[in-house]
């Protein structure tokens, strides 16, 4: 059982960010979405946690997949599906995430010299929104209620804040994870070009190598 499973399970009933007056509405996947924790994550050195802002609300072409995930997550919420089944579904579909299709996974694995089995991911907002908007108030609320505790349970040694929207949470993560290296980096869907991406991956790999040497 993953250390984060009870924390995600406790979060599954939360709809605080969608109260009347917030202007936010739940999308097709209308529950919080747990994120990947690799089977080798806790034994890896350094332990690397990738932080992203939010799960996507899902595009129309992926409606069938979104409905499958919705059913699975409702099963997990009610105790009829396991956390491992949620992660297995995610593993199967992560390989096609991103535009162009499949861009997501290599950006955080092969390009950084990391394996998916050794990585963990987390979203600051556990829920998607129908509007695909994530106001600061929502992000702060979810971080305080759920995300901070999940991150602390994972005990990462390096936290990669991926995308400008996550960078303002560097101080909040540092306060909760005082021994971790907090490293802002590009988002996989950036538009900075191939050379900027190459230099970014090189920079992050150097930090990861340095952090790994500290812990030998």
Give the closest residue to 85 by CA, choosing from 7, 2, 154, 13: 2
Q: Residue 212: its pLDDT value, please?
A: 83
State the Cα–Cα distance between residues 57 and 66, nearest whole angstrom.
Answer: 9
Of 188, 181, 189, 187, the C-alpha closest to 206 is: 181
- For residue 57, the model assigns a pLDDT of 66
Greatest CA separation for the chain:
52
Is a pLDDT exceeding 90 seen at residue 1?
no
Q: How much is the pTM?
A: 0.95
Dist. CA 154–CA 64, nearest whole Å = 32
Query: Do 65 and 57 form a contact (C-beta atoms < 8 A)?
Result: no
Peptide bond into 68 cis (omega under 30): no
Q: Percent of the chain at pLDDT above 70? A: 96
Does the pLDDT at position 65 exceed 90? Answer: no
| Cα first-last separation, the chain | 27
Q: What is the pLDDT of residues 11-43, one digit of tens each?
A: 999 999 999 989 999 998 999 999 999 999 999
DSSP reduced 3-state for 82: coil
Which of the listed ranges 16-25, 57-66, 143-152 does the model predict with the highest average pLDDT?
Answer: 143-152
Which are the contacts of 145, defined by CB distance < 8 A and separation ≥ 6?
11, 14, 16
Element (H, E) at 182: strand 181-185
In angstroms, rounded to a whole number, what is the distance separating the alpha carbons of residues 91 and 38? 9
């Amino acid at each position: 059982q993953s250390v984060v499973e009870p924390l995600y399970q406790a979060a599954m009933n939360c709809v605080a960010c969608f109260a009347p007056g917030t202007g936010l509405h739940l999308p097709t996947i209308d529950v919080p979405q747990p994120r990947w924790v690799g089977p080798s994550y806790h034994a890896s050195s350094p332990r690397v946690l990738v932080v992203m802002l939010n799960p996507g609300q899902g595009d129309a072409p992926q409606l069938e997949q979104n409905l499958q995930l919705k059913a699975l997550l409702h099963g997990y919420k009610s105790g009829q599906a396991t956390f491992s089944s949620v992660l297995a579904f995610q593993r199967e579909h992560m390989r096609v995430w991103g535009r162009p299709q499949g861009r997501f996974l290599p950006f955080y694995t092969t390009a950084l010299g990391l394996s998916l089995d050794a990585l963990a991911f987390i979203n600051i907002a556990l829920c998607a929104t129908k509007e695909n908007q994530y106001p600061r108030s929502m992000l702060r609320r979810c971080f305080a209620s759920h995300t901070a505790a999940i991150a602390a349970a994972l005990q990462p040694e390096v936290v990669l804040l991926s995308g400008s929207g996550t960078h303002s949470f560097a101080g909040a993560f540092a306060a909760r994870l005082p021994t971790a290296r907090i490293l802002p980096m590009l988002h996989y869907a950036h538009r900075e070009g191939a050379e900027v991406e190459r230099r970014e991956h090189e920079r992050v790999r150097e930090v990861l190598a340095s952090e790994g040497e500290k812990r030998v």
